[in-house]
Amino acid sequence: MLYLVATPIGNLKDISLRALEVLKSVDEIACEDTRHSLTLLKAYDISKPLFSYHKFNERESGQKLIEKLKSGKNIALITDAGMPVVSDPGNILVNMLIENDLEYTVIPGACAFVSALALSGMDASKFCFLGFLPQKQGERVEFLQKYKDLQATLIFYSAPHDVVKDVQTLFSVLGERQAVAVKEITKLHERVERFNLKDGYPSEPKGEYVILVEGASPQEKNKDLTDYELIQKYINEGLDKKSALKKVAKERDIPKSELYKLTI
């Protein structure tokens, strides 16, 4: 069995009893950075053979893990912080396990973007986690264009040296929106900063960040359409005329009677 084990994202006490039980019971532990993981393991008096598994050797090390599992070993996969697979190594390995019909399970725990969403005060009923933005500017813009009309909170990870550039790119593609930056979650200097994208990131970047941006408004999504074109759009999508009128009136905050004239 392979166990995907979530580890603390800052405070070492944010680890489950089940996670500790698994880490103590497995034959080996695959780590993103063995030196980093030793801090956690030593804190809980866990001594196991460690195996390097990171984004630069995922397939090669993954194949070695497959062979170990086939030989009957139980292995835990941990990353430097948080949940394996989620913006961390592990996705390739899970697919290799599926291909080889090998058993695996998850030991849930801390996840930075979920914690940031809870702290942010932004709409948590609908959200889209997008991870780190691509490094090349053209790819960043192209990537964001796909989500600019999404009516849901957008969530990104950002390294300290990328925060200023990331916020500038978000504004250039998404336009003026409210944003929240959450840094150093569960650590001593945990902080939640609220700002507008047009103003840029307001502080000196320090620490690991989660950036949350409000979703597109209905008005923004269809701003290039006239009232009549928007009514026709909703009718073409399957709404009857009455429902289409009601929806457009609500989105654009105008009386239905005014819109009704457009459909006669």
pLDDT, average across residues 14-31: 98
Helices (H), the chain: 17-25, 34-43, 58-70, 91-99, 112-120, 137-145, 163-174, 218-221, 227-236, 241-252, 256-263
pTM over 0.85: no
User: Which has the closest alpha carbon to 247: 230, 226, 225?
Assistant: 230
Task: Please state, in angstroms and as integers, the Cα–Cα distance from residue 58 to each residue in 52, 235, 257, following that order.
Answer: 9, 49, 61
- 123, β-bridge pairs: none
Domain 113-216 carries which CATH code? 3.30.950.10
The full DSSP string for 33-89 is SHHHHHHHHHHTT----EEE--TTSHHHHHHHHHHHHHTT--EEEE-SSB-TTSSST
pLDDT tens-digit map of 160-211: 999 999 999 999 999 999 999 999 999 999 999 999 999 999 999 988 999 9
- Phi, psi (degrees; rounded to nearest 5) at 195: -160, 175
Instruction: Look at residue 118 in the predicted model and tell me its pLDDT.
Output: 97
Coil, helix or strand for 131?
strand
The model's pLDDT over 23-40, given as tens digits with 9 standing for 90+, comes to 999 999 999 999 999 999
Q: What is the pLDDT of residue 158?
A: 96
Residues 40-95 pLDDT 10s: 999 999 999 999 999 899 999 999 999 999 999 999 999 999 999 999 999 999 99
Mean pLDDT throughout 234-247? Answer: 83
Alpha-carbon distance values, 189 to 22, 176, 184, 206, 244 (Å): 30, 28, 6, 10, 49
Give the per-residue pLDDT at 238.
84
Mean pLDDT of the chain: 92
Q: How confident is residue 232, by pLDDT bands cut at 50, 70 and 90?
A: confident
Does 19 have pLDDT greater than 70?
Answer: yes
Indicate the CATH number for domain 2-110.
Answer: 3.40.1010.10
Work out the pLDDT band at 261, boundaries 50, 70, 90: confident
Comparing CA positions, the residue from 13, 43, 40, 15 lying closest to residue 29 is 40
Domain extent listing, the chain: 2-110, 113-216, 220-263
What pLDDT does 258 receive?
A: 78
| Residue 88: Cβ within 10 Å count | 19
Q: How far is CA 87 from the centre of its chain?
A: 7
Confidence (pLDDT) at 239? 83
pLDDT of residue 221: 64
Average pLDDT over residues 109-128: 96
- CA proximity to 129, closest of 146, 154, 151: 154
Which DSSP letter does residue 7 get?
Answer: B
At how many degrees (to 10) do helices 58-70 and 91-99 cross? 40
